[in-house]
């Protein structure tokens, strides 16, 4: 192709001229440069004489139950595409949750299910105006990334001083452009849940054509009797969607399997946007098997809940303020001391998750790891603070 033909082609495609982009760089959509980068929890650095523990990613420290490991080992059909509708899993979940299978849409983790919701209901419109998505902040750090990539605008409402959603302020922020609201319960990274009463008041306070997503990634760890049950509200309100995952309680984070539950008014559109083959056959088999042995999963979850409660009680005995922890993690609002604390943890072969100058999230891990974390917190309260 001649240089003239190449210039003509660039002109037809509406590309920038050399003066506008002198280096001839391939550039992403402008929104990409405006988005935060997702920062996954880092593994611990080795420290001589100490066992290292990763407490930075809210993973289960326990492997999948034995039946799941056996089912995974027995699977061989990786030369075939998975069922795009995850029919076996949806059928199993329908019986487990007592919901119609047609109300379930699977995704690559609850994050994949969330992305499907966003691209279906919120984004850039034909008139060039972006829809709005409201969520509490700080909350799950993937929210602003997913919202931005969908073409919508984030409306972040600050948490209350005790790490909870400010539902009154969220309701007041609803505008004509609001299409979707995200409620993370328990809230990641701070820990508190939303109650049934306050969530129902909130749903009744927002327009019925706004999709309300109840993100329950840590639902199995909740022990608060007043905590909202997203499924109960989905059955009552057509605009409510529930997100859940097998990553946390079932110990299947590496297999990426989650799902949304919503009524036919929403699923008819969600299926159009759902990513084909998002859930592999090995992930589907693992999830179905784990559901069939849920009593064993419950035992493992309860052991982590017991450890969470031990850690929370220990922190409070040391004088730390800890928001009500209902997930598999605790939150320390250390502010500008967050990086210092994370560094001290690393010296003790513990990786924790620092969120800028806001605080530290620490996942509940092995008993020895949790004890070492508490010992660090006891030492840290006695260290002289830098001015």
Phi-psi region of 166 (alpha: psi -120 to 50; beta: other; left: phi over 0): beta
Q: Do 128 and 192 share a domain, yes or no?
A: yes
In a domain, 20, yes or no: no
CB 272 within 8 A of CB 116: no
Q: Does 80 share its domain with 177?
A: yes
Same domain, 269 and 327: no
| Predicted local confidence at residue 28, as pLDDT | 79
pLDDT at 36: 73
What is the dihedral angle through the alpha carbons of 208, 173, 111, 239, rounded to the nearest 10 degrees? 0
Q: Give the residue from 292, 309, 327 where a domain finishes.
A: 292
267 within 8 A of 103, measured Cβ to Cβ:
yes
Q: What is the 3-state secondary structure (H, E, C) of the chain?
A: CCHHHHHHHHHHCCCCCCCCCCCCCCCCCHHHHHCCCCCCCCCCCCCCCCCCEECCCCCCCCCCCHHHHHHHHHCCCCCCCCCCCCHHHHHHHHHHHCCCHHHEEEECHHHHHHHHHHHHHCCECCCCCECEEEEEECCCCHHHHHHHHCCCEEEEEECCCCCCCCHHHHHHCCCCCEEEEEEECCCCCCCCCCEHHHHHHHHHHCCCCCEEEEECCCHHHCCCCCECCHHHHHHHCCCEEEEEECCCCCCCHHHCCEEEECCHHHHHHHHHHCCCCCCCHHHHHHHHHHHHCHHHHHHHHHHHHHHHHHHHHHHHHCCCCCCCCCCCEEEECCHHHHHHHHHHHHHCCEECEEECCCEEEEECCCHHHHHHHHHHHHHHCCCCCCC
pLDDT of residue 12: 45
- For residue 76, the model assigns a pLDDT of 94
Residue 45 included in any domain = no
Q: Are strands 258-261 and 104-107 parallel, antiparallel or unpaired?
A: antiparallel
At 34 the pLDDT is: 74
Give the pLDDT confidence score for residue 43 in this predicted structure: 79
Residue that terminates a domain, selected from 262, 292, 322:
292
Residue 57 pLDDT: 96
Q: Is 232 in the same domain as 347?
A: no
Residue 120 lies in a domain: yes
CATH of the domain at 138: 3.40.640.10
What is the tally of structural domains in the chain?
2
Predicted local distance difference test score (pLDDT) of residue 340: 95
* Closest listed residue to residue 338, CA positions, set 189, 165, 192, 158: 189
Tell me how far apart the alpha carbons of residues 344 and 306 are, in angstroms, rounded to a whole number.
26
CA dihedral sign, ordered 87, 93, 95, 99: negative
pLDDT the model gives residue 387: 32
Q: Do 224 and 365 fall within a single domain?
A: no
42 within a domain of the structure (yes/no): no
For residue 154 the two structure tokens come to 């984030």
Place of tokens 């620490």: 362
Q: Does 25 map to a domain?
A: no
Token couple for 12? 């037809």
Same domain, 326 and 255: no
Sign of CA dihedral 235, 236, 237, 241: negative
End-to-end CA distance of the chain: 65
Per-residue pLDDT of the chain (387 residues; tens, 9 = 90+): 444 544 454 444 445 555 566 667 888 777 777 767 667 777 788 899 999 999 999 999 999 999 999 999 999 999 999 999 999 999 999 999 999 999 999 999 999 999 999 999 999 998 989 999 999 999 999 999 999 999 999 999 999 999 999 999 999 999 999 999 999 999 999 999 999 999 999 999 999 999 999 999 999 999 999 999 999 999 999 999 999 999 999 999 999 999 999 999 999 999 998 999 999 999 999 999 999 999 999 999 999 999 999 999 999 999 999 999 999 999 999 999 999 999 999 999 999 999 999 999 999 999 999 999 999 999 997 766 543
Global pTM value: 0.90
pLDDT at 386: 41
* Residue-averaged pLDDT of the chain: 92
Examine residue 345 and state whether it is found in any structural domain, yes or no: yes
Same domain, yes or no, for 192 and 153?
yes
CA distance 320 to 337: 14
Residue written as token pair 């992930």 = 283
What is the per-residue pLDDT for 26? 85
Residue 115 sits in the same domain as residue 252: yes
Asked if residue 38 is part of any domain, the answer here is no
In a shared domain, residues 224 and 369: no
For residue 173, CA distances in Å to 8, 130, 229, 308 come to: 48, 16, 24, 34
Integer CA distances (angstroms), 319 to 132, 315, 316, 380, in order: 40, 7, 5, 11
Let me know whether 325 and 280 are in one domain: no
Q: Which residues pair with 156 in a beta bridge?
A: 135
Residues 154 and 280 in one domain: yes
CATH code for the domain of 319: 3.90.1150.10
Q: Residue 237's pLDDT is what?
A: 98
Count CB atoms within 10 A of the CB of residue 4. 8
**End residue of a domain, out of 241, 272, 292:** 292
Q: Are 205 and 324 in a shared domain?
A: no
What's the rounded Cα separation, in Å, for the pair 43 and 21?
Answer: 39
How far apart (Å, rounded) are the C-alpha atoms in residues 213 and 241?
5
In a domain, 359, yes or no: yes
C-beta separation of 94 from 104 below 8 A: yes
* 289 and 282 Cβ atoms separated by less than 8 Å: no
Task: Give the range of the structural domain holding residue 92, as residue numbers without chain letter.
Answer: 66-292
How big is the CA angle at 372 (ends 368 and 376), to the nearest 5 degrees?
Answer: 170
């Amino acid at each position: 192709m001649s240089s003239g033909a190449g210039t003509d082609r660039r002109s037809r495609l509406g590309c920038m001229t050399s003066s506008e982009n002198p280096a001839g760089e391939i550039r992403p959509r402008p929104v990409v440069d405006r988005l935060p980068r997702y920062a996954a929890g880092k593994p611990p650095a080795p420290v001589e004489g100490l066992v290292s523990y990763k407490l930075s990613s809210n993973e289960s420290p326990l492997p999948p139950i034995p039946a799941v490991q056996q089912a995974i080992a027995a699977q061989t059909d990786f030369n075939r595409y998975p069922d795009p509708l995850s029919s076996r899993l949806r059928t199993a979940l329908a019986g487990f949750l007592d919901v119609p299978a047609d109300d379930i849409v699977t995704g690559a983790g609850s994050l994949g299910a969330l992305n499907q919701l966003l691209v279906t209901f919120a984004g850039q419109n034909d008139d060039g105006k972006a829809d709005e998505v409201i969520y509490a902040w700080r909350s799950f750090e993937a929210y602003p990334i997913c919202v931005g990539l969908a073409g919508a605008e984030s409306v972040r409402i600050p948490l209350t001083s005790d790490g909870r959603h400010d539902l009154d302020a969220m309701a007041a922020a609803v505008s004509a452009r609001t299409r979707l609201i995200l409620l993370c319960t328990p809230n990641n990274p701070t820990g508190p849940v939303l109650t049934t009463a306050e969530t129902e008041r909130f749903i009744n306070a927002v327009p019925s054509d706004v999709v309300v997503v109840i993100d329950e990634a840590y639902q199995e760890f909740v022990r608060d009797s007043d905590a909202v049950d997203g499924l109960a509200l989905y059955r009552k309100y057509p605009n409510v969607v529930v997100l859940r995952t097998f990553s946390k309680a079932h110990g299947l984070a590496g297999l990426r399997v989650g799902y949304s539950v919503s009524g036919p008014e929403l699923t008819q559109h969600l299926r159009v946007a759902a990513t084909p083959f998002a859930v592999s056959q090995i992930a589907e088999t693992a999830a179905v098997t784990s559901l069939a042995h849920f009593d064993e999963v419950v035992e493992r979850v309860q052991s982590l809940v017991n450890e969470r409660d031990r850690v929370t009680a220990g922190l409070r005995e040391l004088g730390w303020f800890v928001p009500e922890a209902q997930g598999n993690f605790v939150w320390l609002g250390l502010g500008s001391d967050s990086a210092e604390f994370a560094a001290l943890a690393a010296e003790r072969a513990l990786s924790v998750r620092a969120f800028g100058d806001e605080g530290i999230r620490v996942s509940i891990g092995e008993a020895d790891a949790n004890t070492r974390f508490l010992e660090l917190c006891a030492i840290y309260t006695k260290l002289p603070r830098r001015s």
